[in-house]
Amino acid sequence: MSNAETFPEIREAVRRLCAGFPGEYWREKDRERAYPTEFVRALTESGFLSVLIPEAYGGSGLGLGAAIAVLEEVHRSGSNGGASHAQMYTMGTLLKHGSEAQKQAYLPKIASGELRLQAFGVTEPGAGTDTTRITTFARRDGDHYVVRGQKIWISRAEHSDLMVLLCRTTAREEAARPSDGMSVLLVDMRQAVGNGLTIRQIRTMLNHASTELFFDDLRVPVENLIGKEGQGFRYILDGMNAERILIAAECIGDARFFIDRASAYAREREVFGRPIGQNQGVQFPIARAHVQTSAADLMVRHAADLFDDGQPSGTEANMAKMLASEASWFAADTCVQVHGGFGFAEEYDIERKFRETRLYQVAPISTNLILSHVGNHVLGLPKSF
């Protein structure tokens, strides 16, 4: 069974919801670099963003399989889940490693959408992908941590009530291992902004609410520490698997969008007295995109099954993300080519989706880093860094 056949009721409901947000809506948001508040609200109110939260805390507890169905359909419809997807999985760190009191306090409100947990602060300008080199530091001062440092590329920080923040509580040089000495804090953005936290927007080639964060002695109550001090890196890695699998599902949705559009256009557009899709030079790349997408789709489903079964899924999550992001990029490039000049016209939404899907070969983890994981950890090849 392919992913496209799972959770048919959810898929149908998501398609209906997305039909209320047509290309023109997304084009305007893209032009203005504006946050799609109405879309995120509709998705929240429908309950689709709380499918990973257990029923005991107000969600539907359906697991990644259902979350995949939601995000894949969002993307296949031409919409973009980037503004909302973090509300689904960022709470995983709290769910897995938070105290019962923290879970009771936050999860039901995240499930209802009363609290937006859309921001996840890891990346720093000086560290890049080498997360153990982060230097944003949380110093203990009585019943508070005092945070100083800087983050970059933090999505949706201006549209979030809470942020899961990774920072050092022990300097790298003083920690037993480089990955020790990092901790996760839950930052209340409503209190933080203007009181030690400054947010600066970064304009990018896609509409992704990207920001840079500056921490200048931000005070965070000690009770907002998630799990044990110094163990944060491990907690964050756990959450990243869900993120990679869900973003892979968005890529599958994007790829299907491009394949649907390319096939329709290739059937209709006539040049030299015949549909362009009759030419194998046009038909074969579309068929290849379908083949690649179907294979990637199976890997996404496999990774999600492992995750939902509580089994290790890091390698599969990485492989799914790589295959799906490459399949969507190939489908995007093919779709532009098939449309000729119209591939570049805003009103076709193809150029927008083309820009949007390119992101996923870089974020949340770049292809080279996935290959290096597979080389070292799966194939036993020498470590290069």
Catalogue the active-site residues.
Answer: 243
Q: Of 152-160, 255-263, 280-288, 341-349, which part binds ligand FAD (CB under 6 A)?
A: 152-160
The Cα–Cα gap between 33 and 206 comes to 8
- 126 forms part of the interface with ligand FAD (CB under 6 A): no
| Residue closest to ligand FAD, measured at CB | 128
| Secondary element (H or E) of residue 317 | helix 314-339
Q: What is the DSSP letter of 231?
A: B
Backbone angles phi, psi at 316, to 5 degrees: -70, -35
Which residue, 22 or 128, is less far from ligand FAD as judged by CB? 128
Q: Which of 106, 153, 233, 360 touches ligand FAD by CB under 6 A?
A: 153
Q: Of 99-107, 147-155, 237-245, 318-326, which part binds ligand FAD (CB under 6 A)?
A: 147-155
- 123 forms part of the interface with ligand FAD (CB under 6 A): yes
Q: Which of 8, 20, 22, 128 touches ligand FAD by CB under 6 A?
A: 128
Q: Of 175-183, 281-289, 359-367, 375-383, which part binds ligand FAD (CB under 6 A)?
A: 359-367
**Binders in 155-194 for ligand FAD, by CB under 6 A:** 155
The Cα–Cα gap between 291 and 305 comes to 22
Sign of CA dihedral 242, 243, 246, 251: negative
- 359 forms part of the interface with ligand FAD (CB under 6 A): yes
Tokens at 261, concatenated: 């559009």
Instruction: Write the CB contacts of 31 (distance below 8 Å, at least 6 apart in sequence).
Output: none
What CA–CA distances, in Å, run from 321 to 240, 280, 355?
11, 29, 17
- 369 forms part of the interface with ligand FAD (CB under 6 A): yes
CB of 156 to ligand FAD, least distance (A): 7
Length of the chain: 385
Q: Which residue has the tokens 């030079």?
A: 281
Which residue, 151 or 261, is less far from ligand FAD as judged by CB? 151
Rounded to 10 degrees, the C-alpha dihedral 214/216/222/224 comes to -20
> Are the beta carbons of 156 and 196 closer than 8 angstroms?
no
Instruction: Write the CB contacts of 16 (distance below 8 Å, at least 6 apart in sequence).
Output: none
Q: Which residues are registered as beta bridge partners of 168? A: 137, 182
Q: Which of 19, 171, 271, 362 touches ligand FAD by CB under 6 A?
A: 362
CB of 265 to ligand FAD, least distance (A): 29
Q: How many residues bind ligand FAD (CB under 6 A)?
A: 23
Which residue, 186 or 259, is less far from ligand FAD as judged by CB? 186
CB of 272 to ligand FAD, least distance (A): 41
- Amino acid residing at 273: G
CB of 244 to ligand FAD, least distance (A): 11
Q: Which of 2, 37, 129, 195 touches ligand FAD by CB under 6 A?
A: 129
The Cα–Cα gap between 76 and 324 comes to 13
**Binders in 200-219 for ligand FAD, by CB under 6 A:** 204, 208, 210
CB of 155 to ligand FAD, least distance (A): 4
Q: Which of 64, 95, 154, 300 touches ligand FAD by CB under 6 A?
A: 154
Q: Which residue has the tokens 């990955």?
A: 179
Q: What is the DSSP letter of 366?
A: -
Instruction: Write the CB contacts of 173 (distance below 8 Å, at least 6 apart in sequence).
Output: none
Tokens at 155, concatenated: 């999505």
- 368 forms part of the interface with ligand FAD (CB under 6 A): yes
**Binders in 15-44 for ligand FAD, by CB under 6 A:** none
Binding site for ligand FAD (CB under 6 A): 120-123, 128-129, 153-155, 204, 208, 210, 359, 362-366, 368-369, 372, 384-385
